[in-house]
Amino acid sequence: MKKSLIIILLTLCTCAFANDKRNLKIDDLFAIRDVNDPQISPDGRWIACVVESINVEKDNTNEDIYMVPFTGGDPLRLTGHEEDDDHPRWSPDNRYLAFLSKRNKKKQVFLLNRNGGEPVQLTDVKQGVNDFSWSPDSMRLALVISDKDPDAIDEDEKKGKDDKEKTEKPIVLTRLQFKFDEYGYLKELYDHIYTFDVQKKEIKQITSGPYNDAGEPWGGYTSTPQWSPDGKWIAFVSNRTATPDSNRNTDIFVVSADGGEPGKLTSNPGPDEVPQWSPDGKWIVYQAQHQPQLMWYDTIEVTLIPSSGGDTKVLTRDLDRNCITPRFSQDGKRIFFILEDHGKQLLASVSPAGTELNQNVAGENVIYDFDLGTNQSIAVLATRPTIPSEIFTIANGKSSQLTFTNAKAIESIQFGSMEPVRFNSKDGTPVEGFVIKPPQFDPAKKYPMLLWPHGGPTSQYMDDFDFQAQFFASNGYVVLQINPRGSTGYGEEFCKAIWADWGNKDYEDEMAGVDYLISLGYVDPEKMGVGGWSYGGMMTDFIITKTTRFKAAMSGASEANYFLDYGVDHYQYEWELEIGLPWEKPELYMKLSPFFNIHKVKTPTLVVCGEADQNVPLVNSEQIFQALRRIGIDTMLVVYPDQPHGIYTPSYQKDRYLRYVAWFDHYLKGAPGKVPAIQ
């Protein structure tokens, strides 16, 4: 056979295979499952994890526990209850797998015997268990339990003897930080540490007082109580300053496992979180922010301190990058952590002396979580642009995919390519981001484009799997995701460049990215839209009050009038630290608030928010909608009932994505309707 004929046949076969694939559809959202929380068994043979799936009929999500052989093979499903089962943790003696479940109304600890059998409920705490960890001898658990609310009415108690519904008592609040998204109103109720004897079923309170002893809800990182290797001590995180709500300090404390007065280990005025003991018990490693005046713009650093107290040593200061969730290897020779860098989230390691830094242990660009086992075994939870989160194992710096949870769900889908972009902003500052192209991209064509600023502002876009961006691309849009100033992953100076100056340098960076993409020739500058959620929605508000180049916008869970927000959202501390109090800095509040330039808006704008959002409360979206409606701008307000800042109900997620596309299709493609045909 002639060589040219072989090439033609191979090309035809390749094209036929490509044509078998289809674009991403909205209902693929319900087929893709989320994998999280990998945990290596003590014998190194298994990895337990949590798999979250969507139940379309019940319109909710459900979490179940699986385990998969470390060397590869089919996963085993361990739980299948209609309530969530999560937080799997192996007992150190390898006999049990404990987990949390709400199958009896309140979340409790359950045990699975490794020899088989049904899960057995271990704890029976009236208000439920928030978190737990095993003692080294597998005889006890450290539990995190909230104080009982004396005003709470259980479901079983709602009806009295006369069968009438009991009326809820008035909510009385005294705290400075009196609310938080998904927690609701914050009463004088706190999280404390208890020990629980697994055999005797006896529980003992170890910490007390008006303090949270597992970190604060606004800290962003769960700090599970950590047992010392000899089982005599428990390290925990708490803010025990005189007025905890007026600062964001947390410190590492150590308390006897038998109870007593906790000893304060750290004295840094910023957050000290997620402690872990060294295998010999002599050290505790943790993550810290040492410049509390910079708030969330401050770099998170891996820090080491003797477990008996003493001077601290910062191991990652020269990196100038966020370094989170540090953990000792089981031989104590390395400290592993997740490193944010240039649109990536890498597994890195360093020696306890702060030398021999390895910035990419795993060879994967976006790692969400990891666990360390015996014999230097490593499991990571990672994602790629065309692969949702899966578990990978690491050996000699190379990764091997272990789970294929979504292989069948995505095998027939042709995703859009995700490519890095780099350009200079107006003042010459180098800026990066990503562009997601339609699956059948043709560089000779001109496409409608969606600019989608990220939330935060201190976060970053990464080259990971992004259903929303891929869904836009599957509907024919080029999607531009930029990491402007204010983003993490590019150093502290880059991050804090927008301090008390939102919508200025980050706006310039976003516009420079748009100009750069237009210069490449495949974007139609007359068919551009912009949208975002949270700070991405706020950035959208800035953009549409500064330029009319976008023909449609989506402002999601945003704030525009900052006078409105103090005391209404849950950022009382952050407003005061960065902007000042509104009655002391009214000029700055007005200058920064895009609401006072809303008369300049010419862009049709879809406004979206969750009804129960206390991060960026609905009143913000209502005011934006009212103002736009009043000045004659084409707008629509969509409110998702009972939803907090994140929209969790699956049917609402579907509705939101379809509404986005319908809105942009109408204004950028000339489609007849602005409201989707909900399938």
Do 468 and 479 form a contact (C-beta atoms < 8 A)? no
Instruction: Please give the average per-residue pLDDT across 241-264, as a whole number.
Output: 95
Cα 437 versus chain centre, distance = 25
Per-residue pLDDT band for 161 (boundaries 50, 70, 90) equals: low
What pLDDT, in 10s, does the model give residues 280-329?
A: 999 999 999 999 999 999 999 999 999 999 999 999 999 999 999 999 99
Q: What is the DSSP string of 528-573?
A: EEEEEETHHHHHHHHHHHH----SEEEEES----HHHHTTTSS-HH
| pLDDT recorded at residue 13 | 41
Q: Would you list the domain boundaries of the chain? A: 414-669
The pTM of this model reads 0.93
| pLDDT recorded at residue 219 | 75
Cα 516 versus chain centre, distance = 30
For the record, the structure tokens of 403 come out as: 């789970």
Instruction: Please give the average per-residue pLDDT across 11-22, as a whole number.
Output: 57
The DSSP bridge partners found for residue 226 are 235
CATH superfamily of 414-669: Alpha/Beta hydrolase fold, catalytic domain (3.40.50.1820)
| pLDDT recorded at residue 166 | 78
Work out the mean pLDDT of the chain and round it to a whole number: 93
Q: What is the C-alpha to C-alpha distance for residues 268 and 270, in angstroms, rounded to an integer?
A: 5
Query: Phi, psi (5° rounding) for residue 484?
Result: -80, 175
| pLDDT of 10 strictly over 60 | no
| pLDDT recorded at residue 553 | 98
Residues in the chain, overall count: 679
The DSSP bridge partners found for residue 478 are 449
| pLDDT of 160 strictly over 70 | no
Instruction: Please give the average per-residue pLDDT across 332-352, as a whole number.
Output: 97
At 566, the amino acid letter reads: Y
Per-residue pLDDT band for 216 (boundaries 50, 70, 90) equals: confident
What pLDDT, in 10s, does the model give residues 562-610?
A: 999 999 999 999 999 999 999 999 999 999 999 999 999 999 999 999 9
